Amino acid sequence: MLAHPDGLVGDGPAARFAAVLERRAAGEPVAYIRGMKEFHGLALAVDARALVPRPETELLVDLALAELADVLGRAPRPRGTPPVRVADVGTGSGAIAVAVAAALRRRGMAGEVEIIASDRSTGAAVLAAENAVAHGVADHVGVAVADLLPAQGAEAGLLRTPQRFDLVCANLPYIRTGDLAGLPAPVGFEPREALDGGLDGLEVIRRLLALLPARLDAAGLALLEIGADQADPVGSAVGSLLPGWSCEVVADLAGLPRIAQVAPATRPGSRP
């Protein structure tokens, strides 16, 4: 419009633009209107089947990549070495799983890692699979419909779910039920089940914590996104459900608590 102010717009484009303005005026997220959201350098397809990926979650991807680089670099990996096993729990659009796999591919490490992305919503799981295919990582990212972690042996795209994972990533619902009504209007268009974390915001996260002793490797790590005021409560939850385990909270670029790093006492260097 600025470059060609004298250009004419036909009735069709003008009507479509007016319709888009009406959707935005009603509060619908721009990402849903565009059908796309940029995340960690990728253009991901997004719609009302899943939460819009947030910039804060990119920190979780960065921490996951740092952990995987450390795991892959600890010792030689001769031919036939089993892949490093990663879970992305509550995957939504598949943002975390696809971003991690795409970054590993750029570094020539994709073949060393298998990612199981799961979501209890069938629609979200389908969207995640679509994004995995669109970015060429469907052979390394398997998507399954499951409440938290799929059972051992469950099919996930081209992959099978292992019993234990070396790394568990999760951006689960962590907003208190009572706070949902006060959120900005665009949030009301997103799936409530992807936002509602129960009375204190940690109900779903606590359910995942309870699964970790049976599903996380003895030297593994869990990365859990949390609310900015949940550092102490999640630490208390880990202390109660996982005695002896460590919980360190990493701040985001705004200096706010964002990612809880949870590890078993058997992990090298771990401290309660």
Q: What is the CA radius of gyration of the chain?
A: 20
Model confidence at 50: pLDDT above 90? yes
In tens, the pLDDT along 137-146 reads 999 999 999 9
What span, in angstroms and rounded, lies between the C-alpha atoms of 127 and 113?
Answer: 21
CA atoms within 13 A on the CB side of 165: 30
Asked, for residue 5, whether it belongs to a domain, the answer is: no
Asked, for residue 129, whether it belongs to a domain, the answer is: yes
Asked, for residue 1, whether it belongs to a domain, the answer is: no
In tens, the pLDDT along 93-120 reads 999 999 999 999 999 999 999 999 999 9
Asked, for residue 3, whether it belongs to a domain, the answer is: no
pLDDT at 271: 64
H helices then E strands: how many in the chain? 7, 11
Rounded to 5°, the CA angle 140-141-144 comes to: 145
Which tokens belong to 115? 């990612």
Which tokens belong to 268? 């090298």
Asked, for residue 205, whether it belongs to a domain, the answer is: yes
Q: Which domain holds residue 64?
A: 11-263
What span, in angstroms and rounded, lies between the C-alpha atoms of 188 and 146?
Answer: 24
pLDDT at 94: 98
Confidence of residue 270 (pLDDT cuts 50, 70, 90): low
Count of domains for the chain: 1
Average pLDDT for 223-252 = 97
Confidence of residue 260 (pLDDT cuts 50, 70, 90): very high
Q: What are phi and psi of 221, to 5 degrees?
A: -145, 140
Asked, for residue 6, whether it belongs to a domain, the answer is: no
What span, in angstroms and rounded, lies between the C-alpha atoms of 197 and 114?
Answer: 28
Name which of 19, 105, 17, 122 is nearest 68 in CA terms: 105
Asked, for residue 4, whether it belongs to a domain, the answer is: no
Asked, for residue 131, whether it belongs to a domain, the answer is: yes
In tens, the pLDDT along 153-162 reads 999 999 999 9
For the chain, give the percent of residues with pLDDT over 90.
Answer: 89
Which CATH number is 142's domain given?
A: 3.40.50.150
What span, in angstroms and rounded, lies between the C-alpha atoms of 165 and 162?
Answer: 7
